[in-house]
């Protein structure tokens, strides 16, 4: 949503196979300035792996100049054959500290936004305030996005 508000092109394609529970479910997101021909991503610039099966399956697809962020709260060992720049992020732990493990994806959002430079922290905060109307949800999500942003500043 944030990218479309900036008049950027956005596509996404979720993929939920029969192994979804505890296995590999993924979503390809493409954001760009020019029209996007397909939502299918064969070679990702950025990979967020929240569990080990996802890292094992999709990590080798990321090229040398790509970015791999993995949830080090749940993944203790990474495959040796990864070519991209690999960053551990304790997303689940940071989300729990913010108020709920359900905000792990928001922690990742803050981290990726800072690492790629696609959004500023203030933009993320404004978006979260618009998205979450209840003050308690705003507080948790604002803490989570800040935790991810700060973690990216430490690498």
The mean pLDDT value of the chain amounts to 93
Token pair listed for 59: 């990590």
Match 């803490």 to its residue by tokens: 143
Task: Indicate if the pLDDT at residue 21 is higher than 90.
Answer: no
- Extents of the domains making up the chain: 2-153
pLDDT at 17: 66
What is the pTM for the complete model shown?
0.90
**Dihedral of alpha carbons 116, 153, 91, 77, sign:** positive
Q: Reduced to 3 states, what is the DSSP secondary structure of residue 78?
A: coil
Look up the CATH number of domain 2-153.
3.40.920.10
| Per-residue pLDDT reduced to its tens digit, 61-87 | 999 999 999 999 999 999 999 999 999
Token pair listed for 139: 């507080």
């Amino acid at each position: 949503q944030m990218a479309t508000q900036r008049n950027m092109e956005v596509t996404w394609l979720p993929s939920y196979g029969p192994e979804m529970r505890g296995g590999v479910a993924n979503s390809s997101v493409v954001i760009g300035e020019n029209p996007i021909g397909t939502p299918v991503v064969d070679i990702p610039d950025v990979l967020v792996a929240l569990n080990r099966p996802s890292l094992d399956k999709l990590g080798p697809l990321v090229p040398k100049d790509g970015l791999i962020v993995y949830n080090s709260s749940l993944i203790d060992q990474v495959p040796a054959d990864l070519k991209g720049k690999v960053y551990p992020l304790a997303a689940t732990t940071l989300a729990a500290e913010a108020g709920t493990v359900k905000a792990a994806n928001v922690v990742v959002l803050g981290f990726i936004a800072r690492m790629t430079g696609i959004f500023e922290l203030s933009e993320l905060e404004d978006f979260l305030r618009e998205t979450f109307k209840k003050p308690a949800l705003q507080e948790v999500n604002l803490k989570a996005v800040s935790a991810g942003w700060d973690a990216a500043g430490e690498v």
